[in-house]
Amino acid sequence: MTYTHLQVEDCGAGAAVRLVTINRPKALNALNREVVRELTAVVDGLLALPGETRGLVLTGAGPKAFVAGADIAAMATMSVDEARAFASEGHALGEKLAALPLPVVAAVNGFALGGGCEIALACDFIYASENAKFGQPEVNLAVIPGFGGTQRLLRRVGLARALELCMTGAIIRADEALRIGLVNRVLPAGEVVAAAVTTVETIAQKGPLAVAAAKRVLHAGADMVLARANQAEIEAFASLFATQDQREGMAAFLEKRAAGFTGT
């Protein structure tokens, strides 16, 4: 498929990593409806037919921005119904990223503001360069985050910090984002994409059904009471004992050899 605003390539060992670059550098990679729809098409393709792809890395073109926010010029004249539809598309993209049975890593250079921060929050991990900056500054425009930012930020950094960021519109540096748990790692500028790809390559060597189950149970358990979440873990754990990968993984361990997982 040809994309107008994305660069899509397979890289890493065995081309196992789908690297997607949002490519609107003159607009600091700002999100508009076309970008959201193209990102959704990429994720839909992986949901329907993952093939050899074992993980997804999202980044932005150029050193200045991952995604500097939504396209304000495009939003300025939206009606209530148009705003609802735009937000719904953003939420649907975030939900599909969470549902992917693959690791999804945001590799953030420069600004990840507004919708950019929200897209990063929808990923499993966030790796940030030292020059990265994060924020939900929508209140400066008399609106609030609309792509899941309030809820994903709440779940990642806690209620008090999410309230402070969303109500003040503050923009924080990468080291502060790391301190409060918004990002997983901070790396030197220029190294963040390579580090994200390396992490996905590492995960690609694990049992893919187990990776998918761990992601599914963790996401589901975040919204469950503990007893129910624990039961979901028990069922997922047990179900993996019906797989060839479980037999292969344990046999390889006992035989002191590398496992050859097939996803079956």
The pLDDT confidence band at residue 47, using thresholds 50, 70 and 90, is confident
Assess whether 67 and 89 both reside in one domain: yes
Assess whether 19 and 138 both reside in one domain: yes
Assess whether 134 and 29 both reside in one domain: yes
Assess whether 75 and 117 both reside in one domain: yes
Q: Which of 118, 164, 248, 255 is catalytic?
A: 118
Assess whether 230 and 102 both reside in one domain: no
Q: Is 263 among the domain residues? A: no
Q: What is the CATH number of the domain that holds 244?
A: 1.10.12
Q: Is 239 among the domain residues? A: yes
Assess whether 218 and 135 both reside in one domain: no
Beta strands across the sheet bearing 65-67: 65-67, 111-113, 133-135, 171-173
Q: Which of 52, 138, 233, 248 is catalytic?
A: 138
What's the mean per-residue pLDDT of the chain?
95
Beta strands across the sheet bearing 185-187: 6-11, 17-22, 55-60, 104-108, 125-129, 185-187
Assess whether 56 and 152 both reside in one domain: yes
Shortest CA distance to 119 belongs to which of 88, 101, 82, 93?
93
Q: What is the pLDDT of residue 13?
A: 81
Percent of the chain exceeding pLDDT 70 equals: 100
For residue 37, pLDDT beyond 80: yes
Helix (H) or strand (E) holding 6: strand 6-11
Q: Is 260 among the domain residues? A: no
Whether 201 sits among the annotated catalytic residues: the reply is no
Strands (E), 30-103: 55-60, 65-67
Whether 130 sits among the annotated catalytic residues: the reply is no
Read off the pLDDT of residues 82-94 as tens digits, 9 standing for 90 and up.
Answer: 999 999 999 999 9
For residue 77, pLDDT beyond 80: yes
Least confident of 51-60, 106-115, 177-186, 210-219: 51-60
Q: What is the pLDDT of residue 14?
A: 81
Assess whether 182 and 224 both reside in one domain: no
Q: Could you tell me the pTM of the whole model?
A: 0.94
* Residue 49, both tokens: 């037919």
Least confident of 11-25, 123-137, 144-158, 246-260: 11-25
For residue 165, pLDDT beyond 80: yes
* Residue 57, domain extent: 6-204
Q: Is 117 among the domain residues? A: yes
Query: Rounded to an integer, what distance in angstroms lies between the CA atom of residue 180 and that of residue 159?
Result: 12
Q: What is the pLDDT of residue 50?
A: 67
For residue 141, pLDDT beyond 80: yes
* Residue 129, both tokens: 């360069």
Please state the rounded mean pLDDT for residues 126-147.
Answer: 97
Q: What is the CATH number of the domain that holds 146?
A: 3.90.226.10
Give the 3-state secondary structure of residue 69.
coil
Orientation angle between helical segments 244-254 and 208-221, nearest 10 degrees:
110
Q: Is 261 among the domain residues? A: no
Answer with the residue of higher pLDDT: 2 or 4: 4
